[in-house]
Structure 1
Amino acid sequence: MITVRTGAYSMKPASLHRRILFPLLLCGGLLFALLFWYFSPFFSPGENRRFSAYVEERFHSEVTSSAITLHYTLADPASRGIAPGTASFGTVSIPYRTSYDALLQSVETTLTSFHRNRLSAENQITLDLLLYELDCEKMPGSTSLLAEPLGPSLGIQAQLPILLAEYPFRTQQDIADYLHLLQDLPRYFSDLIALEQEKSRQGMFQNDLAVDGIIRQCSAFLADADTPESHLLHTVFQNKLQASSLFSEAERNLCLQTHEKLLTSCVFPAYRSLSDALSSLRGKGTQNAGGLSRQEDGLSYYAYLLRSRVGVDASPEELTRLLTQQLADQCAEMQIILDQNPSLSLSEQALVLPFSTPEEMLADLQNAVSEDFPVLSGIAYEVKTVDDSLKDFLSPAFYLTPPADINSPNSIYLNPADEMTGIELYSTLAHEGFPGHLYQTVSFSRSDPLLIRHLYAPSGYVEGWATYVESYACRYAARNLDANTQALCRLWYLNRSVHLTLCSLLDLGIHSQGWLLSDASAFLAQFGITDASAATSLYQYILETPANYLKYCVGSLSFSQLLSEVREQEGDSFSLIGFHEKLLRLGPLPFPLVEKYL
């Protein structure tokens, strides 16, 4: 939900160098070496201070653009010099290329003023990351009205109930900010409506099926509007207040009354207004015609998504070639396993693992990862069950990233609506936990990176890593079991990977080649997928979420390619644990930068 855009930032004056007079007892050779180091063109404390000041100021500006961004990034903003302000969702505005280019030029002037070879290694990486982000924002597609903040799958209106329900109450100020956000929602949704109206005027409004999905979500959210005391936001708010020691009983009751009033006067009317506005726009867009390549400037927007979100420089044609080869390799390996084990069945009943709870699976994963990944000790985490009032809004499982300044709590949420068991649950917990999101997040945070790195974490790296490690998890799951179960686990993983690769190829076909539903259905039929309803649902999802599957699939493939390249280069000296340690230490970066610094 949170999108960070590059803006213009003023610079603080650089600190002046101070000449240090060394004691005469200091030997001449050491004195010369120290002076050479200090004044060397390859290192400058002054340049590093100037860069740090810029990065800190930029971080402050971006993290305070929205109370949601601030609250989910920092647990204690005051410790970073950020004073409390009136909480809001930030602004939604219609993008204009000319004015945005002027802002980008200001940023470029500042970034290129830094002498890269005088910066520390960490600052060089951060500078390269900011320059990469700048180059992405300079692409024509960065200001496209085809960017869609609303949507049945990943839209703001779908994510907002979760972000509000999970909003942690650490201090009284947090609760005050949360209530201010509820009050700000009508203004925020009004901005979104104005944007959608402009998109409709320019023929870039989303298709009717997507609109219908959003309207259904709004209706579901408003189902308990006549009884606000039983609405999911109110019951969750009440539970959190009861678990908190921040207020007296009288203050707690006042908060509940205020919350109920804000739901009826602000939150529910905002969702009704959004639903009504979208209903009035239904049928007025042109996106019913198909994917991005069929829209004006659609290909430039897709190129922007590939570079900025997936984090790769490859063209759609190159990605199609790579994924087609991956699909062939996956299918070939599946056939080999089936030929060697003709009695194998992919049914869940045939794959029994020796674990009875998610906690047992995570404990097993935490032990098993030491075979291939650096050991991380002292990681506290908790497995939570999604509240019944939220289960219809949430994915099967998710890891809620902790604030960057405290790196806790580490919580993995499981949705009881999906009833995952066996290898599916084990693999999902690996994706969300060890050695997936939780493990990667904690590992990177322990390197004490600049806080701005947490705002620029390409989804291709983050989701690609969690998908890449699933192959290890399926091996761990059956490592102490018989050969038949081991083969079955590998077959299950390959089948899952084939599905992801097919979806990614569909994404490329729909958005870069203009595939219609008939084309997508014909493609799926080649692989035995002939259910018309399934094809329609998948086609519609990909229309609504361009490049989303590629974050997982291309991201994972990029890590696998890096592994092959490094293993070949290092030969007998190659260490898989060492390879993973380098990747984790670098942290989330676009893949061209990962390759550069690996």
Structure 2
Amino acid sequence: MKKNHRHTLFASICFILLSGTILFGCGQASTQTSLKQKKFDRFLNSCFKEYAAENTVTLHFKLSNPSAYGIKTPVSPTYGDLSSDALKKNCSRSKELLQKLYTFPSSSLTKKQKLTWQIFQDYLNESIMNEKYILYSSPLGTNGLQSEIPVTLSEYRLDNEKDIKDYLSLVNQVPELFTQILDFEQERRNAGLISPSFVISDTIDQIDQFLNASEENNPLIQSFEDRLTEVESLSKDQKASYIANNRLLVTDKVLPAYKSLKTSLQAYTNDSKNTSSKERLCEYKNGQDYYKFLLMSNVGTDFSPEDCITILESQLKNTVKDISSLTTKNKDLYTEYLSATPALSAPKEIMNTLKNDSLIDFPEIKNISCQLKNVPDALSGTSACAFYLVPPIDSTKDNIIYINKSRVDSNELFSTLAHEGYPGHLYQTNYFLTTNPSPLRTFLHCAGYDEGWGTYAQLYSYNFIEFKNVDEQTTKQLRQLYRDNDLLSLSLSSLCDLYVNYKNYDENALANYLQTYGIDKDSAQNLYRYVIENPTTYLSYSIGCYELDQLKQTMSDSLGKAFKISDFHESVLNVGSCNFSILRQEIEKETEILSNVS
């Protein structure tokens, strides 16, 4: 809903009268304010250019036309410097930028600028605080750089011949990139931050899966040749030459680099199995403090770990109670749950349905296209169930959602596409771009907001799901049971994260806890390992969604009968990604405006 703020007639007359007596002074102040606002925009744009041009990959995925933003494409493509020294320099640079930010008094800025000022301040402060924790995060693991590179290169846009040459240069640099990864990991080990043996083993398993793929199934070969056919400016001979060059680089550079990385990691295995090595985050020096920092920076919440435990335990208890109530009212509901088949099974059909149904309670955005792709077989064993690839901010036609067929069954596809597509990540990302934000905002992300919104969208989407041969009453009950099942799983997984990384549960203690919920030892082990590799990740989803639900309830309580769910959605979307303290402040302002209107 677009809001117009009009002066009353009396206020307008008063303004005219006042301007007659202090016209010169007002004009001067207004001009000075306007100049400060323009200067602030220039500062934000300079920061955006600096961040975007940090390396070739970031620039290429952020902008389809860098020159339109005054950015020159580097002559020599690069992945950038991944050393700890470079990361420390980034922290120092954040200190410099923070001091520059403070030279712009917020009183002279527009409403939108003030919000960006706050969010950027938060971002820079977190960057500065992160300096003492640089070595706590490993570049390895199932979500490590070695798993990201194939997908990143597979989706590297080839709009012209320069893109092709840059891509081939990046493929050629994979060995140097892996050398940087190993150097960083060795520095961690020297500091006593030795990755657990299972992290090394999982990384090796992932490398093996990539290496064992046939040449035709290698994503770097298959995807490159598919994209190359779309570059119309090239002759057949040029395309053939580039195809041969790419295959040679993959064979002579990339595959040997992965083999070398595997060999180096195998040498680490014995050290990692040493009984003195640590696994859980809280076992490391300042590990609990780092966990609190991750809660603040990644999840974006003011809640302490203890608060999160209380919230999630209560949510878990209430969810179990609701499931019990549903299955008591309908004795056959669980059987229906196991046998129910969603009415839609084709991904494109589901996306179109979600897009249309979302118009009921979410603001409309137009001219958005999306490709649905399957995760390559060579990456399917260790990739996520699905993920959304964010398009360049100046080209929304390149939205891509990857679906991992090996990890998403037909009953999960509807909610998965809601999370990644409509009204989840794809929708939220593209909607925010329609608000004409400062380009810098596209770098200032809070995982708790992003994944909280994705989870909120996922749970909300069950309002739209239909089942084959199921009556209306049972459909309503199944929708709630689907929600409860997602909440139970997410609450339990998040509690495991807290118990392991903050409360120091070992694998046996976690298995005993999960046994009370009917979860076997193998599943407990998988969960134990996941939360160690990805501390607070689950909380970005669970606590992020909880924060949004609390904001919705607060707005509803304040507005009473005047509350519209569409107003809440629009308010959250207009603010964009930020921590929940800032979001809460903005939602309170919007609630006050809505209460005055009603």
TM-score (norm 2): 0.89
* CA 1:465–1:229: 2 relative to 1, 3 Å: closer
Cα distance in structure 1, aligned partners of 2:410 and 2:283: 41
Alpha-carbon distance, 1:420 to partner: 2.3
Q: Distance in 1 between matches of 2:24 and 2:354?
A: 50
Asked if the contact 1:38/1:45 (under 8 Å) is kept, the reply is no
Provide, for residues 385-405 of structure 1, a one-character-per-residue CA deviation record: whole Å limited to 9, x for no partner.
444455445333222211111
Task: Please say if 1:122 is aligned against 2:112.
Answer: yes
Conserved? CA contact 1:38–1:44, under 8 Å: no
- Tell me if 1:91 matches 2:102: no
Which one-letter code corresponds to 1:256 in the other structure? I
Separation of aligned partners in 2, 1:301 and 1:141: 11
- In structure 1, give the amino acid aligned to 2:331: P
Change (3 A) 1:568 1:406: same
Q: 1:402 to 1:346 in 2, by over 3 A?
A: farther
Q: Which amino acid in 2 is paired with 1:233?
A: L
Name the residue aligned to 1:252.
239
The answer to whether the 8 A contact 2:195-2:279 is kept is no
- 1:69 corresponds to: 58
* Residues 557 and 277 of structure 1: CA distance in aligned 2, closer, same or farther (over 3 Å): same
| SS class of match (2:136) | coil
Whether 1:50 aligns to 2:57 is: no
Please state whether the residue corresponding to 1:151 is helix, strand or coil: coil
- Tell which deviates more after alignment, 236-245 or 42-51: 42-51
1:561 partner amino acid: Q
Distance 2:278 2:481 in 1: 38
Match of 1:470 among 458, 463, 466: 458
SS in 2 for 1:383: strand
Alignment of 1:563 with 2:552, yes or no, is: yes
Structure 2 residue identity aligned to 1:328: K
Contact 2:299 2:544 in 1 (8 A): yes
Answer yes or no: is the 8 Å Cα contact 2:300–2:447 preserved in 1. yes
Identify the match of residue 494 of structure 2 among 492, 498, 504: 504
Runs (5+) with no aligned partner, structure 1: 1-25
Aligned mates of 1:35, 1:321 — CA distance in 2: 59
Distance 1:434 1:311, change over 3 A: same
Which residue of the partner structure matches residue 276 of structure 1?
263
Hey, what's the Cα distance between the residues in 2 that align with 1:231 and 1:99?
Answer: 36
Name 1:291's counterpart in structure 2.
Answer: 280
Structure 2 counterpart of 1:156: 145
Q: Which amino acid aligns with 1:255?
A: Y
SS at match of 1:515: coil
Deviations 1:267-300 (A, max 9, x none): 2232222222222222325785331111112122
Decide whether aligned partners of structure 1 residues 228 and 420 sit closer, same or farther in structure 2, where only a CA change above 3 A counts. closer
Which residue of the partner structure matches residue 6 of structure 1?
Answer: none
Letter in 2 for 1:565: T
> 1: distance between equivalents of 2:160 and 2:22?
51
SS at match of 1:191: helix
1:349 Cα shift?
Answer: 5.0
Deviates more, 1:581-590 or 1:136-145: 136-145
In structure 2, how many angstroms separate the alpha carbons of the residues matched to 1:270 and 1:292?
A: 30
**CA 1:32–1:574 in structure 2 vs 1: closer, same or farther (change >3 Å)?**
farther
1:266 Cα deviation from its structure 2 partner: 2.4
Structure 1 pair 97/168, CA: closer, same or farther in 2 (3 Å)?
closer
C-alpha displacement at 1:33, in angstroms? 7.4
Equivalence for 1:368: 357
One-letter code aligned to 1:564: Q
* Cα separation, partners in 2 of 1:105 and 1:239, compared to 1, 3 Å: closer
Residue in 2 that maps onto 1:345: 334
1:312-351 paired onto structure 2 within 5 Å? 312-345=301-334, 350-351=339-340
Of 511, 516, 520, which aligns to 1:526?
A: 516
Q: What residue identity is the alignment partner of 1:150?
A: L
Give the helix-richer structure, 1 or 2.
2
Matching of residue 431 in structure 1 with residue 423 in structure 2: no
CA RMSD in angstroms, aligned pairs only:
2.5
Partners of 1:327 and 1:505 in 2: CA distance: 9
Supply the distance in 1 between the matched residues of 2:407 and 2:90 (Cα, whole angstroms): 43
CA distance in structure 2 between the partners assigned to 1:121 and 1:34 by the alignment: 24
Contact 2:210–2:378 under 8 Å retained in 1? no
* 1:507 aligned partner, one-letter code: D
Q: Rate the CA distance shift 1:181–1:31 in 2: closer, same or farther, 3 A.
A: farther
Aligned counterpart in structure 1 of residue 535 of structure 2, from 516, 528, 546: 546
2: CA distance between counterparts of 1:496 and 1:344? 16
**Alignment CA distance shift 1:200-1:436 (3 Å):** same
- 8 Å Cα contact 1:183/1:266 also seen in 2: yes
8 Å CA contact 1:507, 1:547 repeated in 2: yes
Q: Which residue of the partner structure matches residue 188 of structure 2?
A: 199
Counterpart Cα distance in 2 of 1:439 and 1:33 = 48
Q: Deviations over 1:478-506 (max 9, x none)?
A: 49951112201211220121011000011
* Residue of structure 2 equivalent to 1:263: 250
Check whether the contact 1:290–1:514 (CA below 8 A) recurs between aligned residues. Answer: no
Quick one: which of 443, 446, 454 aligns to 1:455? Answer: 443
After TM superposition, list the pairs within 5 Å mapping 1:231-246 onto structure 2: 231-246=218-233
Cα distance, 1:410 vs structure 2: 2.4
Quick one: distance in 2 between partners of 1:60 and 1:178?
Answer: 21
Match 1:109 to one of 99, 110, 113: 99
Match of 1:167 among 127, 141, 156: 156
> Hey, what's the Cα distance between the residues in 1 that align with 2:443 and 2:185?
26
Give the stretch that moved more between structures: 557-566 or 392-401: 392-401
1:228·1:263 contact (CA, 8 Å) conserved in 2? no
Deviation of 1:357 after TM superposition, in Å, equals 2.0
1:78 aligns with 2:103: no
How far apart, CA to CA, are the structure 2 residues paired with 1:248 and 1:572? 65
- How many angstroms does 1:156 deviate by? 0.8
Q: Deviations over 1:242-287 (max 9, x none)?
A: 2331311111111112212222332223222222222222232578
Provide Cα deviations, 1:440-472, integer angstroms capped at 9, x if missing partner.
111111111111111111111111101012222
Q: Distance in 2 between matches of 1:94 and 1:288?
A: 22
Partner of 1:18: none
Residue identity matched to 2:444: Y
Q: Distance in 2 between matches of 1:336 and 1:34?
A: 69
Number of residue pairs the alignment of both structures matches: 568
Cα pair distance change 1:574/1:503, threshold 3 Å? same
| TM-score of the superposed pair, with normalisation by structure 1 | 0.89
SS in structure 2 of the partner of residue 222 of structure 1: helix
Change (3 A) 1:146 1:421: same
Q: CA deviation at 1:228?
A: 5.1
CA distance in 2, matches of 1:81, 1:96: 25
Q: 2:127 pairs with 126, 137, 155, which one?
A: 137
Unaligned runs of 5+ in 2: 1-14, 588-598
Whether contact under 8 Å (1:437, 1:462) holds in the other structure is yes
Which letter maps to 1:89?
Y
- Counterpart position of 1:407: 396
Separation in 2 of the partners of 1:35 and 1:67?
50
Q: In the alignment, which residue of structure 2 is the partner of 1:8? A: none
Q: Is the CA contact 2:194–2:278 (under 8 Å) kept in the aligned structure 1?
A: no
Aligned partners of 1:222 and 1:31: how far apart in 2? 78
